[in-house]
Amino acid sequence: MQYLVAVYGRPAFDHLYPAADHQRRATIDRLLQFDLGTLNRAILDYFDPVIHRGSAPDEAKANVLKQSLDYLDRFLEESGGEFVVGHRLSLADLALLATVSRLEAFNYRTESYQRLHTWKTRLQQTLPYYQECNAEGMAMFKEMLEQKKH
């Protein structure tokens, strides 16, 4: 995503990954790394054994996932805006939204993370391309999970 926006992005989309605002860009990079290295890892570590091996949920891995979601909730608080990096949508919002939305396929509730839940719900309802980009893949993923249960 970083490469595509940097190379093909138009000035109207500079807020997604700004070339000139190095502090905002560094914050976006930090959150993209958090998404990939912490949040995604926590989701995979917790749900993979349950889904693929039928293992009982691991409480330690559940705590790591909860802690990762707490961090994201705190990042939203610290941003001081309606997005993870202030008052404009960024690549970090798009990546984190896709990751957090996956939790719905697992029927994992996010309501206890108030800022995260509000942010996720608002973006899902207001981004004009959210359903187009996510609905089919989510439906397929949910169907796969259902088949594994039986």
The whole-chain average pLDDT of the chain stands at 92
pLDDT in tens, 41-86: 999 999 999 888 888 889 999 999 999 999 999 999 999 989 999 9
Q: Within a 13 Å sphere around the CA of 123, how many CA atoms are in the beta-carbon half?
A: 26
Ordered alpha helix ranges (H), 1-109: 2-8, 22-34, 40-53, 59-79, 91-105
Q: Which of 4-13, 83-92, 105-114 has the lowest mean pLDDT?
A: 4-13
Q: How many domains does the chain have?
A: 1
Q: Could you tell me the CATH number of the domain that includes residue 79?
A: 1.20.1050.10
pLDDT at 148 over 80: no
Which residue range forms the structural domain that includes residue 93? 1-148
Determine the pLDDT at residue 150: 65
Report the percentage of the chain scoring pLDDT > 70: 99
